[in-house]
Amino acid sequence: MADIDTVRERVAGAKRLAVLTGAGMSAESGVPTFRGPGGLWRNHRAEDLATPEAFSRDPKLVWEWYDMRRTKVAQAAPNAGHHALVALENRLPGFSLITQNVDGLHRLAGSTDPVEMHGNIWKVRCTACNGITEDRRVPIPIPPSCNVCGALLRPHIVWFGESLDADVLERAFAAFEYCDVALIVGTSGVVQPAASLAGLARRVGAFVAEINPEPTPATEAVDVALLGKAGEILPQLVPG
CA distance 59 to 81: 35
Q: H-type helices in the chain, by residue range?
A: 2-12, 23-27, 46-49, 52-57, 59-74, 80-91, 105-109, 166-177, 197-203, 230-233
The secondary element (H helix, E strand) that includes residue 235 is none
Paired residues of 123 in beta bridges? 134
Catalytic residue chosen out of the listed positions 82, 106, 118, 156: 118
CA distance 229 to 81: 8
Active-site residue 44, yes or no? Answer: no
CA distance 240 to 223: 23
CA distance 238 to 172: 22
CA distance 141 to 87: 37
Which residues belong to the active site?
118
